[in-house]
Structure 1
């Protein structure tokens, strides 16, 4: 009786695992990430008064970007995803880290992650990552970031939209799509750093 129960349980577990694996699809051959073209100098110390720090928040994103896959806008009403293309984590988190690295490297600001500040976060850079994918109509990687700079204490809010389009070097496949998006994201990050200044 016990042997039968064990065998039955093993069969159920195997079926469940097969179902889970089937739902997830096969694992992609590699994962994509974003690296900043510029990084802060190692060993350099920066000091800022409490209100002079800059906290860069993870941007919000529409549903089509709340995945580790790369969306492809086929036309005005349909979206597919690049085959075998997958980010190591959600693109809005990768983008936030990229902007933080770039701003820290190109300005004199003390840049904090939203999990790092201990008291008041100083100025805050929030926003929405509106586009982060491929436009099949123009064969371009598109990054659109609607930034919102909130002053320390929240008394003023300044908005600015950043958009960069990068041509694809090859047909729409995982590696060229990831590389084109990385180039576009770095250009947006540089533009944000220039806007924020020293």
Structure 2
């Protein structure tokens, strides 16, 4: 990833007068770095599998792929591997796991002190697409009521965890952020029982097992 960045991204100068082939090459480079650095990173975050490069061959088709399901499949497989007794590290898009934990487990999540970034703040932003639900955590935090960097304390909190310390209904339909998401997407997709595929990784999506 470092070599890719230094060799191409740093050397490329893209502007309105750049040839289309240079723009496409630069786009592929940036997309490959996003895939390897955020979506399906290894545990060091320093390399990316070249198998994803074939998906960037046709720039116009990139938007048609189900990237979200591929990322979830990769994360689910890493979570399974992390349960092995000799496994000491985990890779994958762990920020998704962190957002899930912050949204669900009350003694882990920090207090949000800033404005929500998931909905437009004024009439001038009405044409801006709604951000993902997890974007609410891209904010100013306060850790007054939650432990940080203290593994022993956090483990003790998990051992003593009660039913009331878990947020079972995180997607409240009265929430402005959730209303925006529900009105934009077909929520039947959320409840779909289907395989999540990321090349050789296939994990089942089974919301029916945890649906209230």
TM-score, normalised to structure 2, is: 0.28
Q: Which has the higher contact order (CA 8 A, sep 6+)?
A: 1
Structure of higher CA gyration radius: 1
Please report the TM-score for the alignment, with normalisation by the length of structure 1. 0.29
